[in-house]
Structure 1
Amino acid sequence: MKRNKDKVYNFLKVMSLDLCNNKKRGVTASEISKELNIKRNVASHLLNELYMEGKAIKINTRPVYFIDRDAYENNSILQKTIGHVEIGRGTAVEKYDPFDKIIGSHGSLREQVKMCKSAATYPPDGLPLLLIGNSGTGKSFMAQVIYEYAKNNKIIAEDAPYVIFNCAEYADNPELLSANLFGFVKGAFTGADKDKIGLLEEANGGYLFLDEVHRLTPEGQEKLFLFLDKGIFRRLGESNNWRSSKVRFIFATTEEPSLSLINTFLRRIPLVVSIPDLFRRPVQEKLQMIYNFYQEESKNIGIDIVVSKQVMDVLLKINISGNIGKLKNAIKYSCASAYGAYVMDSVKILKIHLYDLPAEIKTKVDFILTGSIFSSMFVSKDIPKDYAPNDIFEDSTINKETEVLLDSIRDYKNNKTDIRNFKKKMTTTIDKVLDKIIFEDIENYNDTVFYNETKKVIQNILKIMENLYGIRYYGNASIVFTYLINIMYDGITKKLEGNYDFEAALNIIEDVFPKEFLIAKKMTGLIEVNLDMKTDRLILIYFTLYINTFNQENNGENITAVIISHGYSTASSIASVANRLLRQFIFEAFDMPIEMSIQEIMHKICSYLKGINTSSGVIILVDMGSLEEIYRSIGDIVNGDIGIVNNITTQLAIGVGNKIIRGEELEKVVSESVAENNNRYKFIKYNRNKKDAIIVTCMTGIGVAVKIRDLFAKCLMDNNIEIIAYDYNKLKGNGTEDKIFKEYEVKLIIGTINPGIQEIQYLSLEDLILSKGYSALKKALKNIAGKEDVEKINQAIVKLFSLQNVIENITILNSNKIIDQVEIIINDLERRLKKYFTNDLKISLYIHISCLIERLVMKEPIMSYKGLDEFKQCHGQFINYVDESFSVIADVYKIEIPVSEIAYIYDIINLKISDLKL
C-alpha cells in the first residue's frame, strides 16, 4: 500500500502542475485508477489519506477533485480558478477537520458537532461545554476531537495542554478531589509536605476535560462555579492569595444534569450537548462502525475477515448496553473466538459466526433475527473501505428536477394540466433523474460500506417484489434504488418543506399510480425494517415513478383482482406464479390461515380496496365456503361491478389475468373464465343505493359545523350530494362504525380538526381557505360531478372561503375587528412559545379563537375536556402563556378563558408542532 500511495502522490503532483493549461478543476479517483491500473476504491482511499496528511487539497464537488497542495499554494492563477468553484459547505479549499473522524459528524451528530465547534470558537476564550450521554456513547472521544479542532484552527497554541480528570475516582474523598483540581500548599492536610499545582494550573492555555462531573460534591461545584464566573481560585490551604488561569472546560456526565448538578454551577455552562445511544444512531453509521472495528482487527492480526449475515443482523439491531465501547469489545471478542477455527481452516479467512459473539449478546439472537434480509460482509486487511463524511452533498441537478417534479404535481392538483400531460411530465422528469444517476453520479457512491450493504438489501427486496407482483426491472434497478436512498437520506425534503405540500403530492401520486404506489410502499416498509431507518417522503414518490417506468405499456385503469384462499401461503403462491408469468402486477393475495376469522380477513381486504381505484370493478378469486359471501362486506366499498369466482387454481388465475390485460369487460372475464374451468361465480352489478354525502364537523361543537355547512352548500350548486353537519366526538369515537356511514356514501369530511377516519378523505377548513383543497374535492366528487362542475365548485369555494368571510359567517362578531385582535393573540403566542406557526396552523387558530371569543362573550364556554386535571399538571407554562396572550382581549370583552378552552388550543397547536413541550 505504501508503494501505491507514493505512485498516487507522484501522479497527483504531475497532473496538478498542468491544471491551468487543460482547464480542469483537479484530479479524480477514477482518472488515477485508470492511469495507474489500481482499483478506484483504493485510489480514492489513498487520495483521502493524502488529504488527511495535508499533502492534498480536496474539493467536494461531484466528482470529488484532488490537487497537490504545493502546486495549489504556489500558483495564484490556479487559486483564483478554484476559488470560483461551488463545492460542499461553501469553501473552495478545505482544511483537515478533526470532526471528520467521528462517524455521524455530518449525519445524526451534525447538530452536536455544530455546537461543539461553536463552543471552541466563541470569542474570546470559548464556552464551557457539557456532554451528556450514557456510558460508551463517545463523550471522551468527542472531547478529544474538540481539543484537536481548536489546535488545528489555531484557536489555542499547538502545544496547549489537554488534561483529563475523572471525578469518579475521587468521589469518596472530596478533599483529595479538590486538591487535585485546585492544587494545595504545604501543610494543607496530612501528607502535604510541599506545594503542588492543580489541574486548573496544569491546563492553563488549553483544555480541562472533567469526566463524570456529577461525582463532584456540591462544595467542589461551588468552587468551580467561582472559577467559571471570575476566573480565579485558591489552592487548598490558601486563605489570602487568589490565583488565575485561562482554561477551557469540557464536562461530561451520564446523569440528568438538573438532578445531579447544582443550579449555580449548571447556569455557568451555556452549551449542553446530548450524545445519543448507539441503538438510536442510523443504520449507515452503525454499519460503518462495525466495518471499522473489524477492519482494525483485520489489520492487527493480518487476516481477511468474513462476518456472517446473522452476525451483521445482530450487531446492527441489538441494543448494546455499553454502546460503542461495548460494540468494539464484542467485535474483538468475536475475532478472538473465531481465531481457533481459522488455524484449522485451509482457506485462511477468519469467519465470524453467531457462536463467536459474547454470551450476553447471543441470548437475544432469536428476537433479533426475525424477518431480516441483511447480507454477510467481507473485510480486507489490505483495502480499507472508503467512508467520506464530507461526501454528503447537494446535487443541483437532482434538486432542480425534484422541484420540476413537485411543480408538475402542484399544477395537476390545481387543474392546470390534464392526466395525460401530467403522466408525460412525470416520465420525462424521472428519465432525466435516472440518466443523471446511471451515467454521471453512481461511481461516487459505489465504494462506501452503506452503499454496498444497502444494495444487497435492495436486491433481496426486488426479488421479493418480482415474486409477489411479477414486476420487470432492469439490471441497474438495484443501483438506482440504492442511490435514491443515499442521496435523499439527508433530506432534500427539508430544503423544500416550506414551498410544497408533500402530503398532497403523495396523495396525487397514489391516486394516479395506485399499484405502483402500493409496491413502493411495501418496498420502503421493508427498507425501513431492514435498514433501521425512516425513509424520506420523496423516496416514496421517486420509487413510485421509477416502478412505473418498468411497465409503462400498462398504465390504463385495469380491473382490480384479488386472490383469497385458506392456508398460510396458498393465495400468495398462486398470485406469485400468475404475476410472474403475466409479467405484470395483476393479483394481490390474501392468505387465510384456518384459525383466522372471516372478519379478520375482510378487514384486511377492505383496507386494501379502499386504497385502490375500483371504478373498473373488482374480481375476487376464492377457494371455497364462506369466502363466496364476501361481497356482502365489500359492496359498500367498491365503486364498480364485483365478480367472485370459487375453486381458485393457478390455471384459472392466469386465464383471468390474461383477460384483464386484454381489457375485456368484467362480466365477460368472469363468465368466460368459469365456462373454461367449470367453476361457479357470482356477479354483482354496481348499484348506488346510498345517497352521496359530505360531512362537516367541528371539534368544539355542532353549531360551528352547521354554519360551515351552510357556507359550503352555497358552492355545490345543484349537484346531487348531501351536506351534513355532524358531531365530531361521534366521528372520532365510532369511526366507520358510526350510523352515518351506513346511511350515506360519505365522500369527504370537512372540519377544523381531523377525526382520524383513515378510510374517508379529510379536508381541513384551513386548506379550503388557503385554496389547497382541490385535489381532495376532485377525488370526492369523482363520478358525481363532471370536471367542469368541479372546477366551478372550486372557484366558488375560492370566492366564498376567504378568512374574513368564514369568520363573518360563523360568528356574530365584527370580522374586521376580530381578525386584528386574534392576530395579536397569535403573534404573541408564537413569540412566547418560540415556535414558527405555519399558515395553515394560523388559519386554524384564527377560526378557533374567533369562535372561542364568541362563546365566552355569550357565556357558553366549553367546560368539559377529557383528562383536564392531567392537562393542568403537565402544561402549566402553556396555560400561563395563553392567559397572558389573551389578556388584552380579556379586558376588551370582559371575559375569562377557562383551562378547558386552553386545552383545545393546545391540541390544535400540538397537531402541527409535535415537539411542543410546555
Structure 2
Amino acid sequence: MQAKDKVYDMMKKMCGENVQISATELSNVLHLSRQVISHYLNRLFEQNLVQKTNSRPVYWSIKNARGIENEEITLDYKNLKTSSEDNITKINYQQETNAFSVLIGCHGSQKNIVEQCKAAVSYPPNGLPILITGESGVGKSFLAKLIYQYALEQKVISPKAPFVVLNCADYANNPELLSATLLGYKKGSFTGANNDKEGLLNQADGGYLFLDEIHRLSYANQEKLFIFMDTGKYRQLGDNEWKKSDVRFIFATTERTEEVLLETFRRRIAVHIHIQSIINRPFVERLQMLHLFYYKEAKKIQKNIVVDKHVVEALCFSKPKGNIGTLQNVIQLSCANAFTKQINQPFLNIMLEEIPNISDIKFNVTSRRLSPLRILYSKELYQVEDEEVLKVKEKFLTFFQKISQIYYENIETAKLELAIAFKKLTNYFKKHSDLLFSEQNLFIRESYLEKCRMITERYGIHCSEEALKLMYCVVLTFQDDMILKFDFYKIINFIKLVSPKANYVAMKLEEKLGAIITGTCKCLEIINTLFFQEYIIETIELQGLIVAHGNATASSIQSVANQNCGTFVFESIDMPMNISLRETVKKVNAYLEKVDTSKGVILLVDMGSLNQMYSSIKNHLSGDLLIMNNVTTAIALDVGMKMLQNTSFKYIAEQAKNIYKIGVQYFEGIAQGNNIIISCMSGLGISDKIKEIITRFINNETMDVITMDYNNLKKLIKEKNKDNFKHTKLIITTSNLPNITNILWVNVYDILDGKGERCLWEALKSEINEQKFEDLKREFIKFFSMEGIASRLTFLNPSIVINEVENVTYRYEQYYDMNLVGYIKLNLYMHIAFMIERLMTSEYHENENKIECTNKEKEFYDVSKDIFEEIEKRYHIKLSQYELSLLYDMFKNIIL
C-alpha cells in the first residue's frame, strides 16, 4: 500500500462526518514526518477526497463522509490485548432528581455525604440515626431538612410525617425543662405543670426529630434519650406508664463529640457526617454559592448583577466567621449598599466598597487573575444536570474504562489506541460543549481560558481558541468527583514515558489553575497530556533552560523562543532581584530532577553570578552541560532552532564560541571541584564501570568522577590551560598521555601494581581510609578478572568463579599473614579460575610417583588442600601435585 493510501485509510479510521484532525495527529499515529503527511494530504485534497480549514493549524477531514460510522473502532493489530467495544461494560451515569439536588456539591465534594444520608434514610426498618458535625454556619440544619425531604420522596415515612426541631442550647441552663420538653409531663408533676403536655418524642412520632447543638444536652438527658433509641419507649415526667413512639433522629453539633457526648450515646448513632467549612470546599462550589446567593438578590430587585473580580476573590478565598450563613448575609448587605447608590442604574455593580467590614477580610487582590461574575435574573438558575449533560459524563467514564484496558507493554499500539480514543472523546465534546457554557460557569471559563493562554504562549503551543474552550469543558466536568476505579498511575507512567514534554506542560497548567480546579483527580493530568501531545514535539533530545534576573526576563525570552520554534524547547526561571542565588539554584535543581538530562542541558543565563552555578547543580546532571552567558532573545531563538533540528551538542557549543560575543563554558566532565578523570580508548564501557566502582567508595559531595572521550581529553591537554585540570587529582587512561605537569596519571592496566596503587592512593587518601582503599582494590581485581575471564571460560559462570577465587586468596593471606599486591592477586584470580575449568574438562590422572619437596613446599601443599577442599567437592575435581606445584611457583617468592 502506498503512503498516500495509508494516510487516507487512517483518516477514515479516525474521522467520521464533521470530524477534523491535524497533520500532527496523523504524523504521531503513522510515524511519518509532518512534512510528509502534509504532502500527501495536499495530494488527497487535489483529488477532492479530503477538505481542510483555513485556520492555524490546518485541520483536515474526509469529504462526503456519510456512511462512515462515527462509532468506536475495533483495531486489528497483532499483540493487541484490549477488550472490544462489545465487551466494555456500559456505565450508567444517572443522577436522579431528588431533595439533595439543590445541595451545592451534591455530585462533587458533598457526594459521599449525600450517599451516607441516603443510606441512613433507606435502611430498614426505620432508618439510622445521623450525627452531623461541622463549624457554625456550614449548613447542618439545611442538610437535616434535606434528609427529611428525601425520606418523604422515598416514601419511607408518610406524606404527613412531622419534622420537629429542637435547639438544645435554648435549654442549656435548665436540663429538667429540656427533659420535660422532650418527654412531656403530667399535670402536677412539677410547679407550673397545670395541664398534661405531650413532649417532642410524641410530636415527632412517625417522622424526624432534629436536635441541634446536641452538646448542650446533659448526660442525664443523653441517657434518657439512648434508652428511648434502644426500646422505642419513654415515660413522661410524673407518669409511671411507658409510652411508645416511632422517631427518626438527626443530631448536630459544632463540638468534638468524644468530649461532649457519652460514649454509650455515641455508639447508638450509626452514621457520623462531617461538613467542611466553606473555605475547604472546591473553588467551583464556592463560586456556585456566590452565584446562588446573588441570583436570589437579583430576583428580588429584578436587576442583573455584575460582581467585581476583587469581590469574587475576597468572598471565595477568605473564610467568613460564620461560614455559609455569614456569606449569605454579606452578599445581601452588599446588594443593599449598591442598590442605594445605583437605584437608577440598569444593573447592579458590586464593588469592594459595598462589602461590609471589608477591612476584616484577609485576602490578596493581586494574587489571582480572575474575571467578573455576571448574574442574569431573567434566566432560570441551573440546579440539576439535564439528560444531555449526564450523557457527556457517561462518555467520560466509558473513555477511562476503555483506556484502562489498553495493553501498555506494547508501546506503539498503546500510543495509537490512546490517540484514537482521545480524538473520539474530543469530537463528541465539540457537539455538546455548549451544554457547559451556562452563565453560572462563565466566571470559571474566563479564568480558565486566561491561564490556558498564558501556558500555551509560554510553551509555544499553537492551538485554537476553540480547542481551549473544549478543554475548559473537560475541566468543568471534572469538578464533579467522579470515582473511577482503574490504575491511573499505569496510564500516567506510560504517557510520561512517551510524552514527557506534554506531561510536563500539563502539570504546569495544573499549577497555574491552582484553586480553580480544586477537587479534581488524576484524570485531568491524563486528559491534558493527551491534549498537548498534538502540539508538542517530543523528539528534541537536549533540555533547554533560561535563567535571568528580573520578574519576567527569562519567561519573556522563553515565550518568544518557544513560539517561534512552534513547540516547547525552553523552560525558564525568573530571578527577581530580591531572590538569592541559592533559591534560584534550588529551582534549577528541581527542574533538572523532573527531566531527562542524559543527552545534555543548555543553560542560558544573563549575568556572571548565575554563570557560577555549575558546582551547585552538577549532582543533578546525568549528561553534559553548556552554559552561555549574556543571553538575548536572538541567541535563545537561534539555539532553540538548532535544538529543534537535533543539532549535535558539541556543534552547538563550538558555534556558540565562534558566533556569539558572549561567555560560553562547555562542561564535559571537567568539574569545578576535586575530580578524577577516566578516559579509555576502548570505549566508555570500561570507563563507566571504573567510575561506578570508585563512586561507591568516595564522598560524592566532595569528589567528582568523570568519564571523558579520549580525543577530547587530548585536546584539553594540548590547550595547556592550567584551569582545565586545576582540581584534577588523577587521570586514569588505557594509553600513555603527553607530559602533563603536576598531574598524576596512571594506565588502567597498571593500576594494581606498586606504582599504580600509590598513584590511586595519593588521589583518594583525603577521601577514604586505608580499609576502604583495600576494599576498592578488591573490587578492581574482581572487575579486571571478570573482563579477562569472561571471554575465555567455556562452561563456568565467571561471577560465581570470581567469588570462589576471592575466598581462596583471602584464606592464603590469612594463613601467611600477608597482603597480596593487586597485580599478583589479578594473576591468581585468572590462574585459579582457568585451573578449575581445566580440571573439570581434563582426563588427566596424577602420576603415582611422588615428587620430593621441601618442608616449605609440603606445608604449602597441605594448606592448599585444606583451602581448596570445598571447591573440589563442589566442582568434582581433585588438585594434582602438579597443579599445586604451579600454584607454589606463584607464591614461593612472597610467602614467609
1:514 is matched by which residue type in structure 2?
A: P
Q: Which runs of 5+ in 1 are unaligned?
A: 1-84, 693-715, 731-736, 747-918
How many angstroms does 1:146 deviate by? Answer: 1.6
2:189 is matched by which residue type in structure 1?
A: A
The percent identity for this pair of structures is 35
Partner of 1:608: 591
Query: Contact (CA 8 Å) 1:455, 1:478: kept in 2 or not?
Result: no
Partner of 1:550: 535
Distance in 1 (alpha carbons) for counterparts of 2:428 and 2:690: 48
Partner of 2:809: none
Distance in 1 (alpha carbons) for counterparts of 2:615 and 2:407: 37
2:268 is matched by which residue type in structure 1?
A: R
Q: Confirm whether residue 372 of structure 1 aligns to residue 368 of structure 2.
A: yes
Q: Calculate the aligned-residue CA RMSD, in Å.
A: 3.4
Q: Deviations over 1:825-849 (max 9, x none)?
A: xxxxxxxxxxxxxxxxxxxxxxxxx
Distance in 1 (alpha carbons) for counterparts of 2:688 and 2:606: 42
Distance in 2 (alpha carbons) for counterparts of 1:394 and 1:609: 39
Q: Deviations over 1:130-158 (max 9, x none)?
A: 22222111111111112212222222221
2:162 is matched by which residue type in structure 1?
A: P
Q: Which moved more, 1:290-299 or 1:458-467?
A: 458-467
Alignment of 1:730-769 (within 5 A): 739=700
Partner of 1:114: 115
Q: Confirm whether residue 465 of structure 1 aligns to residue 455 of structure 2.
A: yes
How many angstroms does 1:507 deviate by? Answer: 3.6
TM-score (norm 1): 0.61
Distance in 1 (alpha carbons) for counterparts of 2:255 and 2:224: 21
Distance in 1 (alpha carbons) for counterparts of 2:264 and 2:616: 67
How many angstroms does 1:636 deviate by? Answer: 4.6
Query: Contact (CA 8 Å) 1:120, 1:150: kept in 2 or not?
Result: yes
Partner of 1:626: 609
Query: Contact (CA 8 Å) 2:93, 2:390: kept in 1 or not?
Result: no
Query: Contact (CA 8 Å) 2:222, 2:265: kept in 1 or not?
Result: yes
Partner of 1:430: 422
Q: Deviations over 1:277-313 (max 9, x none)?
A: 2222222222111111110000011111001111111
Distance in 2 (alpha carbons) for counterparts of 1:725 and 1:159: 85
Partner of 1:878: none
1:442 pairs with one of 410, 426, 433: 433
2:383 is matched by which residue type in structure 1?
A: Y
Distance in 2 (alpha carbons) for counterparts of 1:496 and 1:282: 22
Larger Rg: 2
1:525 is matched by which residue type in structure 2?
A: E
Q: 1:434 to 1:136 in 2, by over 3 A?
A: same
Q: 1:660 to 1:171 in 2, by over 3 A?
A: same
Q: 1:104 to 1:717 in 2, by over 3 A?
A: farther
1:417 is matched by which residue type in structure 2?
A: I
Query: Contact (CA 8 Å) 1:354, 1:362: kept in 2 or not?
Result: no
How many angstroms does 1:272 deviate by? Answer: 2.0
Query: Contact (CA 8 Å) 2:397, 2:484: kept in 1 or not?
Result: no
Q: Which runs of 5+ in 2 are unaligned?
A: 1-88, 679-684, 708-896
TM-score (norm 2): 0.63
Q: Residue 495 of structure 1: SS of its match in structure 2?
A: coil
2:484 is matched by which residue type in structure 1?
A: K
Query: Contact (CA 8 Å) 2:92, 2:394: kept in 1 or not?
Result: no
Distance in 2 (alpha carbons) for counterparts of 1:589 and 1:224: 65
1:651 pairs with one of 634, 642, 651: 634
Alignment of 1:296-375 (within 5 A): 296-343=296-343, 345=345, 348-359=346-357, 361-365=358-362, 367-375=363-371
Distance in 1 (alpha carbons) for counterparts of 2:425 and 2:166: 53
Q: 1:680 to 1:166 in 2, by over 3 A?
A: closer
Q: 1:313 to 1:196 in 2, by over 3 A?
A: same
Distance in 2 (alpha carbons) for counterparts of 1:682 and 1:505: 40
Q: Which moved more, 1:576-585 or 1:627-636?
A: 627-636
1:195 is matched by which residue type in structure 2?
A: D
Partner of 2:10: none
Distance in 2 (alpha carbons) for counterparts of 1:113 and 1:172: 35
- Equivalent pairs, count: 608
Q: 1:162 to 1:557 in 2, by over 3 A?
A: same
How many angstroms does 1:596 deviate by? Answer: 3.6
Partner of 1:578: 561
Distance in 1 (alpha carbons) for counterparts of 2:114 and 2:520: 24
Query: Contact (CA 8 Å) 1:563, 1:622: kept in 2 or not?
Result: yes
2:582 is matched by which residue type in structure 1?
A: Q
Q: Residue 210 of structure 2: SS of its match in structure 1?
A: strand
Q: 1:402 to 1:132 in 2, by over 3 A?
A: closer
How many angstroms does 1:207 deviate by? Answer: 1.6
Partner of 1:140: 141
Partner of 1:797: none
Query: Contact (CA 8 Å) 1:385, 1:448: kept in 2 or not?
Result: no
Distance in 1 (alpha carbons) for counterparts of 2:100 and 2:277: 18
Distance in 1 (alpha carbons) for counterparts of 2:481 and 2:280: 18
Structure of greater relative contact order (alpha carbons < 8 Å, 6+ residues apart): 2
Query: Contact (CA 8 Å) 2:308, 2:350: kept in 1 or not?
Result: yes
Partner of 2:806: none
How many angstroms does 1:677 deviate by? Answer: 4.0
Distance in 1 (alpha carbons) for counterparts of 2:228 and 2:699: 68
Distance in 2 (alpha carbons) for counterparts of 1:402 and 1:244: 53
Distance in 1 (alpha carbons) for counterparts of 2:485 and 2:706: 37
2:435 is matched by which residue type in structure 1?
A: N
Q: 1:230 to 1:424 in 2, by over 3 A?
A: closer
Q: Residue 250 of structure 1: SS of its match in structure 2?
A: strand
Q: Deviations over 1:194-228 (max 9, x none)?
A: 21222122222222211112212222222222222
Q: Deviations over 1:546-588 (max 9, x none)?
A: 112124xx33224322222223332222222322333332222
Query: Contact (CA 8 Å) 1:120, 1:127: kept in 2 or not?
Result: yes
Q: Confirm whether residue 162 of structure 1 aligns to residue 163 of structure 2.
A: yes
Q: Confirm whether residue 495 of structure 1 aligns to residue 484 of structure 2.
A: yes
Alignment of 1:692-771 (within 5 A): 720=689, 739=700
Q: Deviations over 1:143-196 (max 9, x none)?
A: 111221222222222112221111111221222222222222222222222212
Q: 1:430 to 1:267 in 2, by over 3 A?
A: closer
Query: Contact (CA 8 Å) 1:373, 1:530: kept in 2 or not?
Result: no
1:275 is matched by which residue type in structure 2?
A: I
1:449 is matched by which residue type in structure 2?
A: Q
How many angstroms does 1:382 deviate by? Answer: 0.7
2:506 pairs with one of 520, 523, 530: 520
Query: Contact (CA 8 Å) 1:409, 1:508: kept in 2 or not?
Result: no
Alignment of 1:15-34 (within 5 A): none
Alignment of 1:836-915 (within 5 A): none
Partner of 1:901: none
Distance in 2 (alpha carbons) for counterparts of 1:637 and 1:272: 49
How many angstroms does 1:117 deviate by? Answer: 2.0
Q: Confirm whether residue 283 of structure 1 aligns to residue 314 of structure 2.
A: no
Distance in 2 (alpha carbons) for counterparts of 1:292 and 1:596: 43
Query: Contact (CA 8 Å) 1:338, 1:356: kept in 2 or not?
Result: yes
Query: Contact (CA 8 Å) 2:208, 2:250: kept in 1 or not?
Result: yes
Partner of 1:803: none
Q: Which moved more, 1:659-668 or 1:385-394?
A: 385-394
Distance in 1 (alpha carbons) for counterparts of 2:605 and 2:398: 48
How many angstroms does 1:607 deviate by? Answer: 2.3
How many angstroms does 1:740 deviate by? Answer: 8.0
Q: Which moved more, 1:324-333 or 1:469-478?
A: 469-478
Distance in 2 (alpha carbons) for counterparts of 1:350 and 1:276: 32
Partner of 1:823: none
Query: Contact (CA 8 Å) 1:119, 1:126: kept in 2 or not?
Result: yes
How many angstroms does 1:424 deviate by? Answer: 4.2
Distance in 1 (alpha carbons) for counterparts of 2:319 and 2:663: 54
Distance in 2 (alpha carbons) for counterparts of 1:670 and 1:214: 74
How many angstroms does 1:371 deviate by? Answer: 2.0
Q: 1:642 to 1:669 in 2, by over 3 A?
A: same
Distance in 1 (alpha carbons) for counterparts of 2:619 and 2:129: 65
Q: Confirm whether residue 125 of structure 1 aligns to residue 126 of structure 2.
A: yes
Q: Residue 410 of structure 1: SS of its match in structure 2?
A: coil
Distance in 2 (alpha carbons) for counterparts of 1:406 and 1:545: 14
Q: Residue 411 of structure 2: SS of its match in structure 1?
A: coil
How many angstroms does 1:628 deviate by? Answer: 2.8
Query: Contact (CA 8 Å) 1:691, 1:721: kept in 2 or not?
Result: no
Alignment of 1:35-54 (within 5 A): none
Distance in 1 (alpha carbons) for counterparts of 2:455 and 2:604: 21
Query: Contact (CA 8 Å) 2:600, 2:623: kept in 1 or not?
Result: yes
Partner of 2:214: 213
